[in-house]
Structure 1
Amino acid sequence: MSDKVKQILSCYESENPGVKANLTRILMHGKLGGTGKLVILPVDQGFEHGPLKSFEVNPDAYDPHYHFQLAVDSGVSAYAAPLGMIEAGASTYAGMLPLILKLNSSNSLHSLTSDQAITASVKDALRLGCTAVGFTIYPGSAKCFDMIEEAREIIAEAKSCGLAVVLWSYPRGEGISKEGETAVDVIAYAAHIAALLGANIIKVKLPTNYLEKEKIEAENIEPLFKRIEYVRKSCFAGKRIVVFSGGESKGIDDIYNEAKEIKQGGGNGSIIGRNTFQRKREEALSMLREIMGIYT
């Protein structure tokens, strides 16, 4: 274990040896192992957006093994996916990389309520050899209090079994404008809620310089790295691991520039799905190598 990882783990004072061991597996795995930085490959977009929108641009990605192999060959820190995707490769790739089982999901066929269904369990994660579970909450939505209570129960169960917890915290709802969903003050609030719930790893979207509810001096949020610093400060003064979503499809230079800003702002890394697997394999591998080079 590197000194950097030891320092990160020292901030998780209440966690049992199982949770710390699984956090160590993630933090020490792959090309960024030991650096305190993470790049995670998430493939839950088929649930969220449908197979055509998610995979048709790169038809090889219909095959669950494609994503496992991409994660292994690229040397990312972990692979996150819903139950069926992980089940489809769990035996072939057993022990080859840390797995994060996403326990809830929404789908775009139903868009009336900002909510997610629970689609897997902590027992599933243990059965499949996962190191962590993932769960989404929507702070600000009509269902946010139910989702928070669900998350609290799952976090307690997962930790009691020695599994680490990754919390996707995505603000949305009637009281938040579309711009406000990525406003720096709202993203920081969502990240803080995840920390308060006991998340080991917090996932949020990249914050824009828009302000929804709070007043912050412009010079403190104008460059992206300053906004990253603000979000990181909201995660217990940087004592919790926070990674940032890659978001919608974008140009490769934009992705590299975002990684540079995340690093400069002290963020722990990126969790990049569509911007990875929607590219052809060799391009995706090259891009991931470049991103991990930035973080080192």
Structure 2
Amino acid sequence: MGKTALLFAGQGSQFPGMGKDFYEQYPEFKKVFDLLPAEQREIAFSGSRDQLKETVNTQPILLAFGLGIYEVLKSRGFRPDMTAGLSLGEYSALTAAGVFTPEQAVSLIHCRAEAMEEASAGVQTEMSAILGLDRDKLMDCLKRASSAGRVEAANFNCPGQIVISGEQAAVEEAERLAKEAGARKCMRLPVSGPFHTSYMKPAAEVLEQRFQKESFGRMEFPVYFNCTGRPETAADGQDEGTVISDLLVRQVQSSVYMEDTIRNMIEADAGRFVEIGPGKTLSGFVRRTDRSVQTVSITTAADLQAFLGE
């Protein structure tokens, strides 16, 4: 079966009611989820989709959801060989690997979400998943659509699925050009900002200042980073915390290379991918990248019990 890779979901996978079953059954999950304000716990368990869609709610809730489940797994002896996370899921991955404490991660992600929401203010933006078109053709469409405004590639998720982000008019033009070029479908995503684009430069600057005040633990197992698709280590004379903070500052304003991450994990002998997070989005990316590996998704307490063999 090879090694086990752990993946943490990102924004867009949230749904009302997420985490309630874990909260009621697992004290390890409850301890992490209680790091959220009571209002956000209520939004997770019984809020509306619109409330959950707001970046300042989505990111902390998803982080606590992923970390809470990981704490249950960890308490039962589970340890991955490597990990990665999509966008905000990268903070969950780093926390699982020992770089941040759960308390630290929740505080950081509140800061990140607020900075990203502020960077999005006043701009009518959209994110859209372009299905069935290769990178080169889509990049050409984005270049041509730039006459309508700013639009960039935000996520290279898997073969045939690339997410674009930017001004509404430019995204619409890019979708039109992509369909002309042979895209099978263009699907709008339930998120509230032009994430992983140059629009997020102000948020990156806020994070850069914040990381100067943080302490960083040493990684206990490799973390594959969004903006390179590879594990990154400090060179001689470099501080590992500085390397990580530089990558996280870069991550918020640049493309996420999830397909490259998955391919590099498989090359490092990952034969089983365990996805933590609402839905099965990342497991789908893995299967569309390489159908020979095993995938497991943990979204509900029943999923967790089945995985643990309880």
The alignment's TM-score, normalised by the length of structure 2, stands at 0.31
Kindly name which structure, 1 or 2, has the bigger radius of gyration based on alpha carbons.
2
Which one scores higher on RCO, CA 8 angstroms, separation ≥ 6? 2
Greater fraction helix: 2
The alignment's TM-score, normalised by the length of structure 1, stands at 0.32
